[in-house]
Amino acid sequence: MAKKSKKTSKVVDVKKAAANDKPEVQVEATTAPATAAVTAPVAKEVVIRKGDSAVQKGAKYAVMAGRPSKQAVTAVFGKAGYALSWIQRAEKMGVDPANLAARFKAEPQEVKVEWELAHPIVVKAAAAPKDEIAKGATVTSTRKVVDPLATVTPVAG
């Protein structure tokens, strides 16, 4: 038979300890030393060469776009647009890939609006009547497309 350990651990009441915690006091510096000048890191310019492979070009455009996550790219371009390369997306929008990547980094919502205007969503007719579904009908989305360049008239209310 194994011997029991004589060591006993002290049970701490966490809630009681948290209730007695004192908030930390932060001291603000009134003057910053002149020698500690903070500089922003300098970003290296991305250069795309003629001899670069398609993978290298795609990686460089992704760097230009700020290395967006899958969710960020899908939010702007959708699932179909996520599968495309930066070069293919730029061709579909009629712009230069470097320009598209830079605009994506600066204003992703504007790029999203332009992408949606250039590529309306086509959905298989799940909401259409059953007889039309049997024929294989397609229905475009009921989403409103807003022209960002249209003038807004105030509504009297």
Q: What pLDDT, in 10s, does the model give residues 7-58?
A: 777 777 777 777 777 666 665 655 555 554 555 444 567 778 888 898 888 8
By the 8 A CB rule, do 100 and 89 touch?
yes
pLDDT digits (tens, 9 = 90+) for 66-124: 989 999 999 999 888 889 999 999 998 899 999 999 999 999 999 999 988 887 765 55
Distances (CA, A) of 55 to 43, 48, 58, 73: 22, 12, 5, 18
Name the residue with higher pLDDT: 126 or 91: 91
Instruction: Identify the DSSP state of 126.
Output: S
Q: How far apart are CA 99 and CA 115, in angstroms?
A: 14
| pLDDT at position 106 | 92
Contact 96, 90 (CB under 8 A): yes
Token readout for 66 is 């700020």
pTM (predicted TM-score): 0.50
Cα 147 to Cα 47, 84, 110, 119, 144, distances in angstroms: 35, 25, 11, 14, 10
State the pLDDT at residue 42: 46
- State the pLDDT at residue 46: 75
pLDDT at 138 over 60: no
Residue 132, pLDDT score: 55
